[in-house]
Amino acid sequence: MPHHDEPSFRKDTRAYLRFAKGYCPLAKADLKLKAHKMALAPFPFLRGSFYRWPHQFAVVADEVRRAPRLLCVGDIHLENFGTWRDADGRLAWGVNDFDEATTLPFTSDLVRLAVSAALEVHRAPGFRLGAAECADTLLEGYVAHLKFGPDPFILEDRHGWLRDLATADGAEARAFWRKLLAQEAVAETELPEEPRTLLRGALPEGTRGVRFFRRVAGLGSLGRPRFVAVGEWCGGLTAREVKAAVPSAVHMHEDGRRDPTAEGRRLVAAACRAPDPALVLRGDWVLRRLSPEARKVEIEEIEHAPDQRHLLHAMGRELANVHLGSAGGAGPLRGFLDTLPDHWLRHAAALAAERVREDHDALRRHLAKKAQA
């Protein structure tokens, strides 16, 4: 990596931390943990550094970056998919994190999702697809939904293979609750008033024995306040989580305070899918239900999926579900994609992935220098 890029990476890192601190306090210990996790490999680095995506996406061909702009997920990657129960109690699957939702060229989401796959195939022995095949498969799924219309993923009478992947068995469910209850316990009075009120109000009426925890989880939002309430209701455990929100890092060089969840709310409302009634984006906080069947699908599960191609195809289709609402239909998206050359996503993902690796190397060098000081 050219050495002149390392100061650029560190400058952006400092700028983003200043930006985030304008919306919520950041825990130094969690930020150190975040840096350690990001240094492990380029894929976790990608997850934790969306503030560098404008730099990484800038290397992509102009013809790709000139795509129509619409509300996008922003920080899309292989682990930004999970399950929830819809208003009818049905198990649904799809994009489950909108922390970095913002207006971007819609190709940004496609490239970033393909980049995350490209980074992982080179690291994980369980990945059976190459980077080019991952890009092609994601794009095939995306274009299929543009052609045939939105089709939410409801894992009841359809998508049995995906339900098998996404649901937890008994041992996994027990492990989920053990891990959640092992978080740092805190007194209810230690929570700020707003998250305390949100958690209490979200638990089912009659929940007893409520305990509160400070949760350390995620990567992009690691360092921000995150609290969990767990209680007993009708014979079993129930849990809600609230975490502090920060506007998309795309805005970190802009003046003035923004509503941290405004763009996420608009994107979720427009997306063509069965909504999660327990997901609440309100001002400075994001509230959601936690359970063994309301969770993200981990990268290890993706690597051991019996049909990885089928799964990546579904990810492309779900991304189209999200975009179609904001775009007002498939016409503008299909029309633009038809102007791009063959294999454009392969080439764009390869270029952006190389910049991610360069940034990852810069972080590792920086941490090595600090350790020697």
| pLDDT by residue, tens only, the chain of 373 residues | 444 466 788 899 999 999 999 999 999 999 999 999 999 999 999 999 999 999 999 999 999 999 999 999 999 999 999 999 999 999 999 999 999 999 999 999 999 999 999 998 877 777 788 999 999 999 999 999 999 878 899 999 899 888 888 888 899 899 999 999 999 999 999 999 999 999 999 999 999 999 999 999 889 999 999 999 999 999 999 999 999 999 999 999 998 889 999 999 999 999 999 999 999 999 899 999 999 988 887 777 777 777 889 999 999 999 999 999 999 889 999 999 999 999 999 999 999 999 999 999 999 998 998 888 7
For 101-122, letters b (16+ CB in 10 Å) and e give: bbbbbbbbbbbbbbbbbbbbbe
User: Cβ distance 77 to 48 under 8 Å?
Assistant: no
Instruction: Measure the N-to-C terminal CA separation of the chain; round to a whole number of Å.
Output: 22
CA distance 31 to 14: 12
The reported pLDDT for the residue numbered 3 is 43
| 202 Cα distance to chain centroid | 23
Domain coverage including residue 37 = 5-372
Is this prediction's pTM over 0.75? Answer: yes
9: left (phi over 0), alpha (psi -120 to 50) or beta: alpha
Question: Domain total for the chain?
Answer: 1
The reported pLDDT for the residue numbered 357 is 96
Q: SS3 of 365, please?
A: helix
Greatest Cα pair distance, the chain, in angstroms, is: 60
State the burial class of residue 366 (Cβ atoms within 10 Å of its Cβ: 0-12, 13-18, 19+).
Answer: middle
Which amino acid, 330?
A
| Upper half-sphere CA count for residue 69 (Cβ side, 13 Å) | 6
- Give the torsion through C-alpha atoms of 40, 43, 47, 53, to 10 deg: 120
| Mean predicted lDDT score pLDDT of the chain | 93
The reported pLDDT for the residue numbered 2 is 45
The reported pLDDT for the residue numbered 1 is 40
Tell me phi and psi for residue 173, to 5 degrees: -65, -45
Strand 208-214 to 226-233 pairing: antiparallel
Q: Which residues pair with 185 in a beta bridge?
A: 213
For 320-351, letters b (16+ CB in 10 Å) and e give: bbbbbbbbeebebbeebbeebeeebbbbbbbb
User: Cβ distance 138 to 117 under 8 Å?
Assistant: yes
